[in-house]
Structure 1
Amino acid sequence: MANTIKFGSQADLDEILAAQASCTADFRKANADIYAGMDCLEQGKLVTGKISQVNDQEVLIDVNYKSEGVIERGEFKDSDSLEIGSEIEVFVEKLEDEDGRLILSKQKADFVRVWDRIHAAFENNEVVKGTLTKRIKGGVVVDLFGIDAFLPGSQIDLRQIPDINALIGQDFDLKVIKVNKARRNIVVSRRVVLEEERNKQRGDVLETLEKNQVRKGIVKNITDFGAFIDLGGVDGLLHITDMSYKRINHPTEMVQLGQEVEVMVLDFNDKKERISLGMKQLKPHPWKDIAERYPEGAIVKGKVVSITDYGAFIELDSGVEGLIHVSEMSWTQHVKHPSKILTVGQEVEAVVLKVEEDAERISLGMKQLESDPWDTIETELPPGARVVGEIRNIASFGAFVEIKEGVDGLIHVSDMSWTKKITHPNEMVKKGDKVECVVLAVDKEKRRISLSMKHLTEDPWDSIDASYPVNAEVNGKIVRMLDRGVVVELGEGIEGFIPVSKLTAEYIKVPADAFKVGDEVPAVVTEIDQNNRKIYLSVVDYFKSRESAELKAWMDSHKPGENGTTIGDAAPKAKKSAKKEA
């Protein structure tokens, strides 16, 4: 736009412009050094300046320009150590922003200064040293020659690192795997360096690897079934069963991540890709000469390490365990499960019962520490002795009686009564009942005692001929009805049998036609079968010696009624029917 003047002539305007030009020229001449600096300052270049002021947000830099340059304080990694007047190399981002300020950058200056070095390392595949400074999403920030580079989490190690924070502040050898100058993006990797080192070491290890060789390694990873050991570029598996001769529940009981361990090479395949290692093989086998160290009959101490349904395992020494079977825990207690008397971790004493070195088994007993109550059982309980005990258990064949603590005897169902026909023991006794019985026999070897309840009294059948001679008249009560006759109770548990043909002189098909349970009947003893313990009776023979009137009365009271009811039963039924009809 041309210069114009609102008032005055063109000559006046020319004079004013000439004066301004003269003043400007004089000013620039007087400040030639300042304008020289302004003329050489270019955007995108590196310049050297001095720190002139530091505040909470910004750092002001004097770069010999018309105004001081501004850098955000956050660009300085150690802003607390900034000193006024110290020289610093900066990058010119903008000569003038919207506020007219000169914008500088410390980080970009650092990047430009080391870019050539980083790019050369990238092109030449060189190893560089970097410091891990802080953890961010996806990886770690690395200080590389004073500028930030990115180390992805997958590139930190050969395996996943459980705690990346533990690596912050450490220096590592790295390789630059990606660069972008425009975005100032630098990606580095430690894994690449480790893989190259491992491949070199792997070749050296595989060339010298042999079975039964002892090597040192580092625990790289731990699983439930074992630990992976880095032997120097090649990994081997130390299985949990090869860590120790003693029982262990998890590999962490023996090794820790990063720990240096000594192992033996147990086996490897032809390509040597799978290597089996062992630790326990470096020590003497604990079962060698075990019988000499733990002779039978010796009293030993140990700790309960495991409990099962059938017993408890006791650790006697590292890698040496013995089993106390549940049957060897007590003479007197009925141990249903070992956990009732033992707990894991408990210290116990036991007696060595048997040692099997080849099978690596030791049988132990706790009850052998005490005297066996069965040792004196024959003298304490001779046959014929009377004892009192509690019914502990009932089976279909008899009842078990606890005579003394830890000693049971059996009352067989056939030894409960001389006279009753018992189908099940619970007809005579109940669990928990106190009963008196007689010792019949003692088998010390089989630990069995036979008991009897019926032997508390004399067998009534021994004198049955005298008590119930043939032709003797008796009275009995019907207790059971059979199709072929009735069973009557005579007293003292003695029962007799009356055939259906001997119940009445009149024909009846079955006893129930004229008789019922509970009826009192007179009879005569007709036969005694001592061997089969049976007495045969006859009502008909009884009335042979009686008056005919007496027999008639008996016949009338036991005539068959309708539907098999007797006359005595039918009479009250007829009265009830007559009342209903009325």
Structure 2
Amino acid sequence: MDYMNEYEKTFKEIKRGDVVEGTVIQVNDEGAILNIGYKADAFVPKNELTYDDEELPSDVVKVGDKIEVEILRLENEDGNVLASKKRVDSSKIWDELKNDYEEQNAVKGKIYKTVKGGVLGSVKGFSCFIPASHLDLKHVDNLNDYIGKTIDLKIIEIDEQKKRIVGSRRNYLKDMIEKKKAETLKNLQVGQVVKGVVKSLTEYGAFVDIGGIDGLLRINEISWGRIKHPSDVLSIGDELEVYILNIDRENEKIALSLKKIIPNPWDSADRKYHVGDIKTGKVVGITQFGVFVELEPGIDGLIHKTHLNEKGDLKEGDIVNVEVLNVDLDKKRIRLKIK
């Protein structure tokens, strides 16, 4: 009887390209050795264990692990079968990437090279082209700034035959902004006081970012006092607290107020202004029937033309001394005369 022949019959038959399961029996810096139930053990070199060059074999597998590998060669120079874990993973990972594309899941890509029109990154071991216009929400001046960085992406194109993908960080960022906006809009309530940052100024007000969504702070809600332009009291980048005045969830519009969280000067006017008091103020308006003087932001008094005396040639911006003639707290009016 040919005992050696009988002994070899106890082992499975394998050929190049087969995918088999094996048990890790040894791990070193060069790779991993597996028992695959064949007459020779399988050796999986480091470069066939993982797509990440910085990972050590011991980071990927441990002794006792059961993993699937593809047979590359039945016998190498050491008498072992040469196998690849990466090849098996590749098929599974490609299916994952296709699902990520269909579901528009976020994936991570490590940028390793600049090319014409964009950069190349590694996404789960596959090469991914990211056009320059899709690296950020704004123009990117230097593509080399991204080399070595790991960024979040959305897959926007996929080539099944060539196993290539195109990614977009811009789409990922836009999606995050929309999600943050929706979350903020959902949780906001009229009457809340929230923190915000001034994003832009217009003649009619300021747009304030209150957490992924901009609210409008109209000029008449910025101050109790008179202002000609929001830039008189606000600057782009200012951090401030604002009051939620109104919410239009359907149209994603939010009205804000600063005045609501600033004391109304008329609430303390009874303690500050009495008949006969002498005050200093600034001329803020001139009409046919008199001159308006700002005594403090939010409180104006009127000098009727009959009380202007010889100073009837006042102009806006002039600083004047006035005497309080009458205080009507209900109508929020103060009558003055020039001193």
TM value normalised by structure 2? 0.53
Residue 219 of structure 2 corresponds to which residue in structure 1?
A: 240
Q: Which amino acid aligns with 2:314?
A: I
Q: Give 1:213's aligned residue.
A: 192
Structure 1 residues 144 and 351, CA gap change in structure 2 (3 angstroms): farther
Q: Which residue of 1 aligns with 2:293?
A: 314
**Correspondences of 1:504-543 after superposition (within 5 Å):** none
Amino acid at match of 1:188: S
Q: Which runs of 5+ in 2 are unaligned?
A: 1-92, 112-116, 123-127
The answer to whether the 8 Å contact 1:211/1:267 transfers is yes
Structure 1 pair 263–343 and aligned structure 2 pair: CA distance change class (3 A): closer
Distance 1:175 1:288, change over 3 A: same
Instruction: Give the deviation of 1:145 after TM superposition.
Output: 4.3
Q: Per the alignment, do residues 144 and 306 of structure 1 end up closer, same or farther by CA in structure 2, a change over 3 Å counting?
A: farther
Cα 1:186–1:197 change in 2 (3 A) is closer
Counterpart residue type for residue 362 of structure 1: I
Aligned AA (1:341): L
Aligned AA for 2:295? Answer: L
Judged with a 3 Å threshold, the aligned counterparts in structure 2 of structure 1 residues 341 and 257 are, in CA distance, closer, same or farther, namely closer
More strand by share: 2
Residues 357-396 of structure 1 correspond to what in structure 2 (within 5 A)? 357-366=329-338, 369=339
1:350 equivalent among 317, 322, 329: 322
- Asked if 2 retains the 8 angstrom alpha-carbon contact of 1:226 and 1:240, the reply is yes
Instruction: Tell me, in whole angstroms, the C-alpha distance in 2 between the residues paired with 1:309 and 1:242.
Output: 28
Structure number with larger C-alpha Rg: 1
Distance in 2 (CA, whole Å) between partners of 1:169 and 1:255 is 34
Cα RMSD, aligned residues only? 4.3
Once the two structures are superposed, residues 127-169 of structure 1 have per-residue CA deviations (whole angstroms, 9 ceiling, x without a partner) of 55799xxxxxxxxx7656499954449x954xxx7x988xx96
Q: Secondary structure in 1 aligned to 2:265?
A: coil
Matched residue type, 2:223: S
Residues 197 and 233 of structure 1 are in contact (CA less than 8 Å); yes or no, is this contact kept in structure 2?
A: no
| TM-fit CA distance, 1:272 | 7.3
Relative to 1, partners in 2 of residues 1:343 and 1:268: Cα closer, same or farther, differing over 3 Å?
closer
Mind listing any 5+ residue stretches in structure 1 that lack a counterpart? 1-115, 132-140, 370-582
Aligned to 1:198: 177
**Structure 1 position 293, deviation (Å):** 0.7
User: Structure 1 residue 365: deviation in Å?
Assistant: 1.4
- The amino acid across from 1:253 in the alignment is D
- 1:492 counterpart residue number: none
Looking at structure 2, the residues matched to 355 and 232 of structure 1 have their Cα atoms a distance apart, in angstroms, of 43
8 Å contact from structure 1 (residues 225, 240) kept in 2: yes
2: CA distance between counterparts of 1:293 and 1:255?
28
> Residues 349 and 271 from structure 1, CA distance in 2 versus in 1: closer, same or farther, beyond 3 angstroms?
same
Q: Hey, what does 1:432 align to over in structure 2?
A: none
- C-alpha distance after superposition, 1:435-462 (max 9, x if no partner): xxxxxxxxxxxxxxxxxxxxxxxxxxxx
Q: Deviations over 1:397-421 (max 9, x none)?
A: xxxxxxxxxxxxxxxxxxxxxxxxx
Distance 2:220 2:140 in 1: 31
- Aligned partners of 1:315 and 1:144: how far apart in 2? 63
* Aligned-pair identity (%): 33
**Structure 1 residue aligned with 2:314:** 341
Q: Does 1:126 align with 2:99?
A: no
Deviation at 1:189, TM superposition (A): 4.6
The alpha-carbon deviation at position 264 of structure 1 amounts to 1.0
Is the CA contact 2:129–2:167 (under 8 Å) kept in the aligned structure 1? Answer: no
- Contact kept in structure 2, 1:206 and 1:272, CA below 8 Å: no
Secondary structure at 1:229 match in 2:
strand
Alpha-carbon spacing, 1:307–1:193, altered in 2? closer, same or farther (3 Å): farther
Indicate conservation of the 8 Å contact 2:276/2:325, yes or no. Answer: yes
Structure 2 residue matching 1:205: 3-state secondary structure = helix
Q: Distance in 2 between matches of 1:266 and 1:229?
A: 13
**Change beyond 3 A, Cα 1:126–1:218:** same
Tell me the distance in 2 between the aligned counterparts of 1:211 and 1:240. Answer: 19
Partner of 2:255: 276
Q: What letter corresponds to residue 259 of structure 2 in structure 1? A: K
Quick one: which of 241, 244, 253 aligns to 1:262?
241
Partner of 2:168: 188
Aligned to 1:295: 274
1:304-334: per-residue Cα shift (whole Å, max 9, x none)?
A: 334445443322222222233333221x46x
Going from structure 1 to structure 2, the CA distance change for 1:225 and 1:185 (only over 3 Å counts) comes to farther
- Matches of 1:256 and 1:292, distance apart in 2: 33
- Tell me, in whole angstroms, the C-alpha distance in 1 between the residues paired with 2:330 and 2:140: 49
Q: CA deviation at 1:197?
A: 2.0
What amino acid does structure 1 have at the position aligned with 2:220? Answer: T
Distance 2:131 2:286 in 1: 54
Query: 1:357 corresponds to which letter in structure 2?
Result: L
Q: CA deviation at 1:280?
A: 1.4
Q: What SS does the corresponding residue of 1:300 show, helix, strand or coil?
A: strand
- 8 A Cα contact 2:292 2:301, kept in partner: yes
* Partner Cα distance (1:298, 1:315) in 2: 15
Structure 1: how far apart are the matches of 2:278 and 2:165? 75
CA 1:273–1:341 in structure 2 vs 1: closer, same or farther (change >3 Å)?
Answer: closer
| Paired residue secondary structure (1:211) | coil
Alpha-carbon spacing, 1:322–1:148, altered in 2? closer, same or farther (3 Å): farther
Q: Using a 3 Å threshold, how does the CA distance of structure 1 residues 249 and 144 change in structure 2: closer, same or farther?
A: farther
